Amino acid sequence: MQFDNYTVERELGRGAMGVVYLARDEQLGRHVAIKTVQLAGQFSQGEHASLRARLFREAKAAARLSHPHIVTIYQVGEAAGVPYLAMEFVDGMTLEAATAPGSGWRAEPLLAGLQQVAEGLDYAHSQGLVHRDVKPANILIRRDGSFKVADFGIVKLLDETARTETNGMMGTPSYLSPEQVRGEGVSGRSDQYALAVTAFRILTERLPFWGDSVAAMFYQILHLEPGDEQLAPGLARVLRRGMAKRPAERYGTCREFVAALDGALRGEAVAAPPGERRWNPLWAAGVIGLVLIGGAGMGALVWKKRPAEPVIPERPEYFTQKQDPQRIVQEARRSVIDVLEKAKQAEPPKVAEAATFPVDLAPAGSAQRGAKDGLPYVWIPAGSFPMGCSAGEMCSSDEVRHTVRFQKGFWLGATEVTAGAFRRYVKEKGAKMPEAGTGRDGWKDERMPISYVNHRNAAAFCAWSGGRLPTEAEWEYAARAGTRGLVYGPLEKVAWIYQDDLLVYTKAHDGNYPPVGTKAPNRFGLFDMIGGLNEWVSDFYDADYYKLSPAVDPTGPVRGDGYVHRGGSLLTIPNDAGASRRRWALAETEAPDIGFRCVGGMSGL
């Protein structure tokens, strides 16, 4: 394989966007690393051209850097329609590989190497560039023990804000700073935050924030402090400042952060960081109770007991002592009620008015009641739509856009299945209501959306009601209702997601979830398609679904490890809400933030 004057010898690694090769520069007789960037097939022609131009511009900006601790970019080019970067080949390993379980690593030399990383980053910042994706996989260790920062090909010039999407989110979720999660501008202190996360991982063998969904991780990054009880107080303070929520509260430079870390390791006194935040158990319990930790949300909390004397373990153990999730939920629920009772009284939100339909979307008899479940259903007419990531939006790699067409219309529940409707099913079938409920009165409010229902029971309810769970394509088509963006209206008007008005509502209603239909509907007259609860669909999850599914009346794959749920929930933050967002969970998952709605629901359908 040939890239201009570079002859490929072997593959070094590959990722979602391309492959890295070891190649020989035939003109200069040296080895280089060739990093390809695969754009074709993932974006439209216009998006491809824009991304190609952006890649070339940023790579040329990064090629200006000349520092012993930054991987040098030699050339940017294109071969057979594939953009590539030719860069310095580093014979060694990544910091990620060096800290893998069983590798026998020791923290001291790796932490010492971070000083070199800090020098390289500060130099880049002085040249007006921010890396934006500092992480162990992008830190290389040469055989002589020196460290180099790699992958400056995705950096952005700070002075190009007006011409590029500087505020767009870029990077690996675990290492993103709060300002990146919020979609705000970045600075050298954003890289410092990621460097502090890296140091935390070296010292504790775990990440400061983690979860089984991006939404859970982003929530923690924005609102929680890292659990650092097993670290010496001085080290904990340095890391806490390096990972401060506000950039202004971090150290002035990356070198200042590493110098403070080195001082703490040598036992020097560390001053309290400005605006230091302390963990408030009551507040934390209230927030956890509000979102009601579950398998598809935050994930089970795990931690280890605080040692009698804070120490730095030579080989820290993973946090593997798990607590009983049901007990945590019960205790958190009691705490959130206590917290909410102290809040200021507020008027509950008004129930949205009846849906209105544009003439071209509403056939005769567009709204009916389900024969058995008593829920409202609306008619979704046949048509086509662009399924997947909307142009210009930040989306996951499994949200590839393609056109889908439905030959026939279908009836879909106007709301999520309620506690009252599920109770009618339980009574007739001799089943049981979910044991876990929300709020002080459990499932007594029949207008609340039902949750803690696994996929099998959700499908059984829909079959009992005379219908079935919607497919992924049906769900997204109905959620968009003719709109092309991720959302069908202002989030504060159409979605219950994690925000201040949720706190106001739960106070006014004894900690219960908001009932269905209290936000504005979309153009089809459907409520809570975004926010409220995630919703089960009938399809198995497949990361390549958008590329492989049929264009007409598509159904999902015939097998998979788990089922898709859509729409976001009370745990979802604004940046992670949208009609194309995909998540999945095991079939037996019974979570507080997953509900469902049905297709059909009328006798004979």
Give me the helix-helix angle, 188-204 and 254-265, nearest 10°.
Answer: 30
| Cβ–Cβ < 8 Å for 409, 555 | no
What are the DSSP calls for 105-125, one per residue?
A: --HHHHHHHHHHHHHHHHHHH
Active site residue 91: no
Residue bearing tokens 């804070």 = 310
d(C-alpha 391, C-alpha 41), whole Å: 14
Q: Is 584 exposed, middle or buried (0-12, 13-18, 19+ CB in 10 A)?
A: buried
The residue behind tokens 């599914």 is 549
Strands 92-94 vs 73-79: parallel, antiparallel or unpaired: unpaired
Tokens representing 525 are 């007259």
DSSP 3-state of 464: helix
The two three-digit tokens of residue 596, written as one number: 């469902």
Please report, as a single letter, which amino acid is at residue 597.
R
For residue 490, give every residue at least 6 positions away whose Cβ sits within 8 Å of its Cβ, in sequence order, or none.
none
Backbone phi and psi for residue 355, each to the nearest 5 degrees, phi listed first = -65, 145
CA distance 369 to 460: 19
Cβ atoms of 567 and 529 within 8 Å: the answer is: yes
Please tell me the distance from the alpha carbon of residue 498 to that of residue 345, in angstroms, as a whole number: 19
Quote the CA–CA distance of 63 and 521 in Å, as a whole number: 50
Tell me the C-alpha distance between 217 and 208, whole Å: 10
Q: Taking Cα atoms as reference points, which of 158, 578, 554, 172 lies closest to residue 390?
A: 578
Contact 335, 292 (CB under 8 A): no
- Report yes or no: 370 and 401 within 8 Å, Cβ to Cβ: no
| Cα separation values, 448 from 66, 219, 226, 317, 444, Å | 60, 24, 34, 42, 9
Cα distance between residue 77 and residue 83, in whole Å: 6
Q: How far is residue 409's CA from residue 379's CA, in Å, rounded to a whole number? A: 7
Location of structure tokens 């890289």: 191
**Phi, psi (5° rounding) for residue 600?**
95, -120
Active-site residue, selected from the candidate residues 133, 191, 228, 539: 133
Nearest CA to 367 among 209, 602, 572, 148?
A: 602
CA atoms within 13 A on the CB side of 86: 21
454: which residues sit within 8 A by CB, 6+ positions away?
Answer: 587, 588, 589, 590
Sign of CA dihedral 216, 222, 227, 231: positive
Q: Which residues pair with 577 in a beta bridge?
A: none
How far is 36 from 323, CA to CA, in rounded Å? 45
Residues noted as catalytic:
133
